[in-house]
Structure 1
Amino acid sequence: MHASTSALSVLPFPINLQPIRFCYHQLANSELQKIKYLSVVMEFRFSKMFAFLTLTTLVAMASHAAAVRQPLPQLSYWNSVLPNTPMPKAFSELVHPGDLVSKNFLRPAGAENQLDKATDALGPCAGLVLMEKDLRPGKTVKYGFPRDTTSKSSRFVSRPTAESIPFSSNKMEEILRRFSLRPESAEANTIKETIDYCEMPAMKGEERYCATSLESLVDFATSELGSNIRTMSTEVERGANNDVEQTYTITDGVKVLAEDKVVTCHKMSYPFAVFLCHAIEKTRAYMVPMEGADGTKANAVIICHRDTSKFAPNNWGLSQLHLKPGEGPLCHLLSDGHLTWLREKNLDDHYIVSVA
C-alpha cells in the first residue's frame, strides 16, 4: 500500500480519490497544452525574427555592395571633367574612402628636404638639374630614383573637408588644433613651411596654385590647358637600389612632349594630400630614356624653362649650373610623386630630338 493511501485510511470520513485524480490529469493536460502552445508561439516568433534578421542582413550587404560599386566622389569628378584622361597612379593611390589625415607625413631623418632647394620657378622638385643642350643620347648624369613612400601616406580628402580646414599662415593655431599638433613639434614646422611656400607670390609669367583636393587640382589644370589633357610622370624599373646614385646614360629616343605651356604639380608635405601646381611661360617638356650602370632603365620627364630672365638671382637650379637669370634654359627632372599635365594634341605631335 502506498504511504498516501495509508494516511488517508485513518481519516474519520471516507474520501473518493477519483475526482482528485481527474482534476490532476486535467491540470496536467492543461499545462502540457500551454507548454505546447508556448512552444509553437516561440517557434513562430523565432522564425519571424530570424527572417527579419536575415532580411536586414541581406539589405545591409546589398547596401554595402552598392557603396563599394559606387565610385568615390573624387573619381566621379575626375571622370566627369576628364572622361578621356586616365587617372595617373600618382593620384589614384592617394584616393581612398573616408577623410583620414596622416601624422606620418614627415620625411625620414637624413632624407633630402625638398623645400630647402625650392625656388619660385622650380617648385619643390630639387634633384637633377641640367642644360637643355645636354638632353641627347650618350650624355651621362649622376642620379638616383628614390621612391617617395613617405608622401604617399598623405591622401586626398574630399573637397568639402579640405575647404572646411583653413590653409593660411594666419590660421596656424586653428590648423594645429585641428590636427592635434603642438606648436613646437616638427610636424607643425613642416606645415608652416608648406603653407609659407604656397603663399609665395608668383613670378611674372607664372600661374601657381596649391590644391588641397583632387577636385581643385583638376580645376586648376583644366583652367590652364583645357579638358583635352593628359598627365605624364617619370617611370623607373623598380629595383633594390633605385635610390642609390649611379651613372645614367641618356639613350636614343629623346622626345619633345610639349613646346608651349605645361602644368607641373609637386607633392607637398602635409597631413593630407596637397599639390603645388604651376604653369610657366616658354616651358618645354621632354621624355628622356636613360639606362643606369647596373642596367636599370628609366623614362624621365624633364621640364625645361627656356626663359629664365624672370628667375630670382639666388635660384637654386641656376646656381647649380653656374648661370645667371636669362643666360640659358634651365631643365629639371620630375622625381617620384611629381607629374606634369600636357595638352593631348602635344602627345600626338611629339617628335624625336635629333643628335646634336
Structure 2
Amino acid sequence: MMHTKLSPMASLFLFIFLASLTVGSAGDQNPLTQKSYLIRYWNKQTGNSHTKPVFLLSKASPLSAVESASFSKLASTHNHNALSSRFSAFCASANLLCFPDSSLPIHTDAYLQDTNASPRNTQYPVKDFLVSGQPAQSASQYAFKCKSELRVFHAGDNSTMETMIVETLSDCEKAPSLGETKRCVGSAEDMIDFAISVLGRNVAVRTTKNVNGSEQSTMIGSVKGINGGKVMQQSMTCHQRLYPYLVYTCHSVPKVRVYEAEILDPNSKAKINHGVAICHMNTSSWDPNHRAFLELGSSPGRIEVCHWIFENDLTWTVAD
C-alpha cells in the first residue's frame, strides 16, 4: 500500500477536520461546534453539577465542520500557492494569532509580573484553542514540533512569530521545580484532564472576570474564601503563553488559600470587576530573587505571597 506524506499545513488542517467530525458525531442541539463538544466533555470528565467554566468554554475553536472540511480539501491538493492565499482567511476564521505585531512584548516575563495593586492587564491578543483534543507534547517532541510550527505559521528567521514560538516551546520543555507537577496544554480537554489528574474529578476553575481597574487605584468590596478560606494542600494554576493559538503552562501549586473579591471603583463604589486571588502560604522553596521578595524586602519562608489571577489565567481547586 502506498502512503502519501502530508505537508505540515495539510496535516494541521486534516487534524482539525477529523476533530470536527468527531464533534459532529456526538449529537446535541449544536452538534457541529467545538464548544458543544467541550461542554459534553466537561460533564463527562468532572461528573459534577457545578457552574460550567464560562471562560474556558468561550475559548473553544470557532471552526465548524464545514470550514474545517473546506481548508482540509484545499490542503490535500498540495497547491501551496492556493494554500498560502487562504492562510489569512484560515487564521481569521480560527481566531489565531498568525501575524503578530512586531511591537508586541513577546518575552515571557512581560506577561508574568504579579502585582498586588489591582488585576493586571496582560494585553494578550484575543485567540482561541486550535482544535479539541490537542494532545499534550512530551519534552522529547518539542524540537520537532518547533520546526513544524515555524513552517506552518510562516515564521521567518528572527521574526516576531519565530521568537514567540521558540520561547513558548522552550519554556514548555523546562523541567518542573522540585515537588511540582507541570504540563503545557494546547486544548481545553487536555487542561481538564491534567487538573483531574492533580485534584480529582470534583474540580472548579476560576479567573478574574476582566481587566477593569487594571493598574489603577481600586477598592475591595466583599471577599469570599474558597474552601472556607482554609489552606488547600493542592491547587493548579494555568498561565497563558504567547502562541498562534491558545497554549497554557499549568503547574501544581501546594498549600494555598484562594479568594474571590468584588473590585470597586473607589469614587462611585460601583462594582467594576470580579477578581480571583491566590495566597502562597509556604514560600520556603522559592528563588530568593523572586520579584515578590525583592519588592517586599523579604526572603523565602519568611512571608506569605498573595497575587491576583490575571484575566487570561486560570486557577483550579477542588470544588466547594
TM over 0.5: yes
Q: Is the 8 A contact 1:248 1:291 kept in 2?
A: yes
* Distance in 1 separating the partners of 2:193 and 2:285: 26
Q: Indicate the residue corresponding to 2:251 in structure 1.
A: 278
Q: Kindly tell me: are residues 103 and 89 of structure 1, through their superposed partners in 2, closer, same or farther at Cα, counting changes over 3 Å?
A: same
2:159 to 185, 194, 219: 185
1:210 to 165, 168, 184: 184
Aligned residues: 257
Structure 2 residue 253 is matched with structure 1 residue 259 = no
Higher relative CO (CA 8 A, sep ≥ 6), structure 1 or 2? 1
Question: Where in structure 2 are the equivalents of 1:233-244 lying within 5 Å?
Answer: 233-236=207-210, 242=212
Question: Where in structure 2 are the equivalents of 1:60-79 lying within 5 Å?
Answer: 69-70=30-31, 72=34, 73-79=37-43
CA shift digits 1:99-155 (9 cap, x unpaired)? 6372347478366x67215xxxxxx542314xxxxxxxxxxxx436537461x3243
* Distance in 1 separating the partners of 2:308 and 2:155: 34
Q: Kindly tell me: are residues 105 and 221 of structure 1, through their superposed partners in 2, closer, same or farther at Cα, counting changes over 3 Å?
A: farther
Deviation at 1:246, TM superposition (A): 1.9
1:127 to 111, 114, 127: 114
SS in 2 for 1:262: strand
1:302 to 277, 299, 305: 277
* Distance in 1 separating the partners of 2:156 and 2:236: 35
SS in 1 for 2:243: coil
Deviation at 1:198, TM superposition (A): 1.7
Deviation at 1:281, TM superposition (A): 1.6
- 2:215 aligned partner, one-letter code: E
Q: Kindly tell me: are residues 315 and 263 of structure 1, through their superposed partners in 2, closer, same or farther at Cα, counting changes over 3 Å?
A: same
* Distance in 1 separating the partners of 2:315 and 2:154: 34
1:336 to 305, 308, 311: 311
Q: Kindly tell me: are residues 317 and 191 of structure 1, through their superposed partners in 2, closer, same or farther at Cα, counting changes over 3 Å?
A: farther
SS in 1 for 2:218: strand
Query: CA RMSD, aligned part only?
Result: 3.2
- 1:128 aligned partner, one-letter code: T
* Distance in 2 separating the partners of 1:248 and 1:294: 9
Structure 2 residue 96 is matched with structure 1 residue 102 = yes
Runs (5+) with no aligned partner, structure 1: 1-62, 118-123, 130-141, 348-356
Q: Kindly tell me: are residues 244 and 289 of structure 1, through their superposed partners in 2, closer, same or farther at Cα, counting changes over 3 Å?
A: closer
> Structure 1 vs Structure 2: percent identity of aligned residues?
25
Question: TM-score of the superposition, structure 2-length normalised?
Answer: 0.69
Q: Indicate the residue corresponding to 1:115 in structure 2.
A: 108
Question: Where in structure 2 are the equivalents of 1:1-12 lying within 5 Å?
Answer: none
- 1:191 aligned partner, one-letter code: I
CA shift digits 1:50-109 (9 cap, x unpaired)? xxxxxxxxxxxxx99x78631534333222112434432321221123563723474783
Q: Kindly tell me: are residues 323 and 107 of structure 1, through their superposed partners in 2, closer, same or farther at Cα, counting changes over 3 Å?
A: farther
Deviation at 1:225, TM superposition (A): 0.8
SS in 2 for 1:281: strand
Question: TM-score of the superposition, structure 1-length normalised?
Answer: 0.62
Deviation at 1:176, TM superposition (A): 0.4
- 1:251 aligned partner, one-letter code: G
Q: More displaced, 309-318 or 221-230?
A: 309-318
SS in 2 for 1:335: coil
